[in-house]
Amino acid sequence: MPQKVILDVDTGSDDAVALMLAALSPELDLVGATTVNGNTLVHFCTENTLRVFDAIGVQVPVYEGMALPLSRPNPPRAASSHAIHGDLLDLPPATSRKQPQHAVDWLIETYLASAGDIILVPVGPLTNVAAAIRQAPQILEKIPEIVIMGGAHEVGNRTALAEFNIWCDPEAARIVMNCGRPIRLVPLDATSRALVSLEDCARFRRIGTPAAIATAVMVEQRIRAYDAHQPARRTGAAPVHDALAVCAILDPGVITTHFIHVDVEVQGPLTDGTTVCDFRRGRGRAPNVHFAVDADEAKFVAMLGAILGRTA
Ligand code: RIB
Ligand code: CA
């Protein structure tokens, strides 16, 4: 039986690759996608998500969610974020339509009706997930695991310390991090060690499927933007953050994790939105998060090629 998953996305080019991986992996059953304010305004994230599914010919229900963080105004957008994603993905306008139900209501209804077998995969700000937990805490016992792209220990991307998804809505992230359910966190520490290169993109183009070609186009744009604004560990390559979270469900060996305590700073003038990671052994608070400190780049890129080479 394929593993059921729900992706909560702020689509975005790396969310787009994550969505294609989840939709095209025979080992996964993508039950639905929920959208949230983040990389761009939520209605653009919704349109982008629909565009991705249309482009690869799959029908997955898309539910639009929160337009603002839980208790803050919308954060200003960085120029680098615009260069990496833009508002709308360079794919044909969507012909399929979003579902009428709000994402938070759908998450609650779906989890309450489930057999407790749907892994939740948030790869944007955690606003929808926190809102659902706050509104209906009884869903928690039906969520077997939450696999999150977010956070950083070594170095941030939105501030010196904070990663974008957590920084956008730290109050929401704090609720989720402390929810008591099993959490795997795929932070920048791991995604920055699993880069996709221009040579990899050339290989994806040669594979020739709609998903592989779309990925090549989007990742090449990411690489140009990273080289110009936000250099990765080497030039001519960039992280595709959200895709690594989906790959970690398919093959946990693609990341290396430590079981540690993680909380979220919600007010420091220099540290707002930082994931505070306690790596002390046997001291401090009990571990709550499997925190990825490393990733296997070769395995990740091979997984991308194998899955994106599939058609619906
Ligand atoms: O920091 C990387 C994360 O921020 C990714 O999820 C990307 O899509 C953006 O949301
Ligand atoms: Ca994202």
Q: Give the separation between CA 41 and CA 311, rounded to whole angstroms.
A: 30
Residue 54's CB is within 10 A of a number of other CB atoms, namely: 17
Q: Distance of CA 252 to CAs 170, 181, 184, 256, 292, Å? A: 27, 18, 10, 8, 10
User: Is residue 281 very low, low, confident or very high in pLDDT (cuts 50, 70, 90)?
Assistant: confident
Ligand positioned closest to the Cα atom of 244: 1
Main-chain phi, psi angles of 109, to 5 degrees: -60, -45
More reliable by pLDDT, 85 or 173: 173
| H-only helix segments in the chain | 13-24, 42-56, 79-85, 103-113, 127-135, 164-168, 170-177, 188-191, 198-207, 210-229, 241-250, 297-308
What was the pLDDT predicted at 79? 67
Q: Nearest-5° angle of CA 270, CA 271, CA 274?
A: 155
Which ligand is located closest to the Cα atom of residue 75? 1
Task: Give CA–CA dist 66/69, Å, rounded.
Answer: 7
Q: Say which residue, 310 or 274, is predicted with more confidence.
A: 274
Per-residue pLDDT at 302: 98
Q: What is the 265 CA–ligand 1 centroid distance (Å)?
A: 18
Instruction: State pTM to two decimals.
Output: 0.97
Q: Are 293 and 244 in contact (CB under 8 A)?
A: no
**Coil, strand, or helix at residue 65?**
coil
Identify the residue whose tokens are 């991308």: 304
Domains of the chain by start residue, with CATH? 3-308 (3.90.245.10)
Task: Take atom 10 of ligand 1 and give the residue whose Cα is closest.
Answer: 124
Check if the beta carbon of residue 185 is closer than 8 Å to that of residue 262: yes
- Rounded to an integer, the average pLDDT of 193-202 is 98
CA distance 284 to 297: 32
- State the chain's mean pLDDT as an integer: 96
pLDDT digits (tens, 9 = 90+) for 202-257: 999 999 999 999 999 999 999 999 999 999 999 999 999 999 999 999 999 999 99
8 lines ligand 1 (CB under 6 A): no
